[in-house]
Chains A and B, each alone.
Chain A
Amino acid sequence: MLPKVTVFFFIIGMLVLPGCWDMEDINRRGIANVVFFDTGDTGRFKTGVVLGTPGTEIPPIVGTTQQFEHRHYVITGEGDSMVAAWSEVQAATVRDIFFGQTRVVVLSEELAAEENINDLLDFIGRIPLLPPNIHVLIAKDEPEKLLAMPNRDNYTPGNYIDFYFQSPPIRSLAIPMELWRVNSVLDQKTSDPFIPLFEEYQQMYRIAGTALFNQNRMFGELSKSETEILALIRGTDVGYLTVHLGENQHAAFGFARVRSKTKITPHFSPADQTLAFNLDVEITGGLVESFPHREIGWEEKQEIERKAERMVKEESEKLLAKLQDLHTDPVGFAGKFRTAYPREWKPSDWKQLYSEAKMTVTPSFAVVHTGLYR
C-alpha cells in the first residue's frame, strides 16, 4: 500500500505546490532602495520610492565607463492615508515594488514635526521582508528633490547612506538609528528617539545634525557639533574632536579615533523627589594635529588633557541643559533611573523629574598617541 499512497500524495502535493502563486519574474521586480514620506499638497501624506534604473543596479567600478547619468528614479503618490498614497505609487509602475533590499526610510522635517512618528512608521514597519535594520533619517530639504538628485559618488541614495553610516571616520557625526531601534525606543519610553538629519552638500549627502523628539514628535534639533558631543556622551567608538586652547581660537589640538565610554549613575532622593545624574565619561583619542606645531611632552600632555576635559564638560553640560529644556531624553536617562530605582519609576512623572534633574559631567581624557610626530 505504501508506494501507492506515497505516489498519490506526491501527485496531490505537486498540484498544490506552494510557490506558484508567489512566482515573480526578477525583471518585473522594482527594488525599493529608499522609501520616503512627506506632507502632501493634494492629500495628507505624500509617499515615494527610489527605484534603481533597470540595467544599472551594479556598483560603480573606478576606471571603467560604468558611470550612469541616472542610476535611479523616484515615484511619488499622495493620499489621505499612507496606504492611499502608496497605492498611487504602485499604480505608477509596471514593476512589483519589492522591499527586501530597502536601505533607508526618510521622513521630511515638516511631517516629523506634525505627525506621530510611531504612526508614520507603522505602515512601513508592517511590511514583511523589510529589513529591520534599515536606517531612518530626517531630510532637511524636500525628500523628493533630495533623493532624485544624482550624487557624485554615483551610488543609489539608499546605498550611499548605508555606506555613509558604516564609514568609521564619520560615525560620530552620524549616530545610526535603525527602524527596529526607533520602534524599540518608542515602545519602551525610557528614552526619546533621535534621528540623524541629512542634507544636500556639493551634490552629495551629508549629516546636518540630529532631530530630537518629544512625545513622538520632532521637537528640535542639534547642530553637527552638538551631535558630536551627544555621540561622546552616549559612548562612541570612533570620532573627531578639536580642542581650542583658551581664548586663542587659532591654537588648537585635533584628535582622531576618539573613543568614549560613559557610566551614568542616578541619585534619587524620595523625600524631596530630587534627582541627579553623574556622568563619568572616559575618552581616549589620538593626537593628529597640534596647531602651532610642537613636541608633546609630559607637561603638554597634561595640559591638553585638562583642556579637553574642560571643553567636554562645558559642552556636555550645555547640551544636557538644552535637552532638559526641550524635555527630550536621547541619552536614555529614564532607562538608567528605571533600572536603579524600579519602585520609584513612574513614566507619567518622568518629564517633570527629568527637567529638574541635576547633571554633573566628569570627563577624563587620555591622549593615547601623537601620530608619526613626537
Chain B
Amino acid sequence: MLKEKTGIGPGLFFMVLYVSIFGFGVMQAPHVAAEHMGHNGYWGFILAFILSIPVTAGIAWLGRHFPNRSVIEYLPQLFGVFFGKVLGFLILTAILVLMVWTSRMINEEVRLYFLSRTPVWASIVLFLLVALFLAHQGIEGITRLAAFVFPLTFVLSFLAILFSLQNFELDNIRPVFFFENGLAVGNGVVHLFYPFLALLTALMINPYLTKKKKGFKVMTGAAALAFFLILLAIVSGIGNYGADGILRYSYPVLELTRKANLPFLLQTFGLFFGATWLSQALVATGFFYFLLSEGVAQWLRVLNYKWFTLILFPLIFFLIMLPFGVIEMRIIFPYLRVGGFLFTVGLVLLLFVVAILRRGGNPENAS
C-alpha cells in the first residue's frame, strides 16, 4: 500500500484545518444560530466552540498515543477487528457525508448566483474533477495549496465580513443575556457545533504531523481563528437583518456580503467573499477527498489512495447528485448537524476511554 513519506508541520496543518472549518462552516452559521436561539444565537456558537476544546484535546491526546497511525489503523487494536472495522467504516461514512453535502450545497450556490443555465451535473463534474486533482496530489500538495490561498482568502473574507457590519443595529442582537430556556441553549450548541466536525480529519491526518506535541495548540488555534470569523458573520447577520430577518435567505453570509459596499467605490463585497470562500471550500473538499481515499485504502488494506481517488469518483458524484434539489438538502441538514455532533463527540470520548482502559498506543514515539 502506497503511503506518502512526507510530513506536514504545524503551519501547514493549521492552515488546512482552518480552511476546512471555515470553508465548510461559515455559509449557513447565521441561519442556524438565529433558527435555534434567536436574537442572541451567537451564544450557541460561542458555547459550541468551548465544547470543541475538550474534543480537540481528546483528538490531540489520541494523536500523541498513536503517533504513526491514523484512526482507521488503530481502531482494530482498540476494539478488535470486527468492531474496529465497523467504527472505521462509520468514520469514513461521516467524512463522505460531510463532503457530499457540502459539495452539493456549494454547487447549488454556484448554480443560483453564477451559472443559472448550466446543468448542476456539469458544475459538479468540474468541481469534483478539481477536488480529485487536489486529492491526487496528496497531503503535501493540498496543505501547500491551503497555505497558498490562506493569506489572501483570510484577509478578503475578513474584510468582507467586517464591512458587512455597516448596517449593524445593536438592538437586533439584544437582549444579550435573555434565554428562552436551557433546552434552547443546548439545542443551539448541538446544531452550531457543525463547523467543528472538520476536526475529525485530524484523527486521519495524524501520521503526517511532524510535531504532534503541538497538535492541540495548532488545532485550537485553527478552530479559534475560524470561530472568530464565523462568529463575526453570525453577529453581523443577526445585527443586520434581525434573527427573523436572516431566516429568509438561502445563503445568508453571501447575502450579507453582497449587501456590504463602499459607496461610489465598490458596489458589493459579495464577489470577493464568494471567490475566496469557494477557493477555501474547494481546498477543503480536496482535503476531505484525499482523507476519504486514503482511509478507504487503509480500511480495505489494498491499493493506495491514488487509486481510490479514481475509484470513488463515480460513487461521490452519484451521491452528490442524489438529492433532487436544494429543499431536500435543507431537510437533511439538521439531521446532519445533530448526527455529526453526536458522532464526533461520542467517537472521541469512546476512543479516549477505550485507549485508557486498554492502555493502547505508544506515546513514546510522539515527536
Contact = CB atoms under 8 A, between A and B. Distances in A.
Interface of A: 1-2, 5-6, 9, 12-13, 16-22, 128-129, 131-133, 166, 180-181, 183-184, 187-190, 332, 335-336, 339, 342-343
9 contacts: A5-B310, A18-B126, A20-B118, A22-B117, A131-B268, A183-B245, A187-B245, A187-B247, A339-B175
A225 to B, nearest CB: 27
Interface in B100-136: 110, 112-119, 122-123, 125-126, 129-130, 132-133, 136
B244 A16 contact: no
B366 to A, nearest CB: 33
A22 B116 contact: yes
Interface in B144-175: 167, 171-172, 174-175
B79 interface: no
A131 to B, nearest CB: 7
Nearest to A2: B136
B245 A184 contact: yes
Interface stretch (B24-32, B67-75, B253-261, B352-360): B253-261
Given A13-B125, A181-B167, A336-B171, 19 more contacts: A5-B136, A9-B129, A12-B125, A12-B129, A13-B126, A13-B129, A18-B118, A18-B123, A19-B115, A21-B119, A128-B116, A132-B258, A133-B259, A180-B240, A180-B241, A184-B245, A188-B244, A190-B171, A342-B175
B263 interface: yes
Interface-centre pick from B129, B167, B178, B248 (highest chain A CB count, 10 A) = B248
Interface-centre pick from B110, B123, B175, B245 (highest chain A CB count, 10 A) = B245
A336 B172 CA distance: 10
A129 B263 CA distance: 18
Contacts of B119: 21
Interface in B254-311: 255, 258-259, 261, 263-264, 267-268, 306, 310
A273 B129 CA distance: 64
Contacts of A6: 133, 136
Interface-centre pick from A2, A13, A332 (highest chain B CB count, 10 A) = A13
B169 to A, nearest CB: 8
Contacts of B241: 180, 183-184, 187
Contacts of B310: 5
B259 A180 contact: yes
A16 B242 CA distance: 41
A128 B117 CA distance: 12
Interface string B79-114: 000000000000000000000000000000010111
B118 A21 contact: yes
Contacts of B264: 166
B175 A187 contact: no
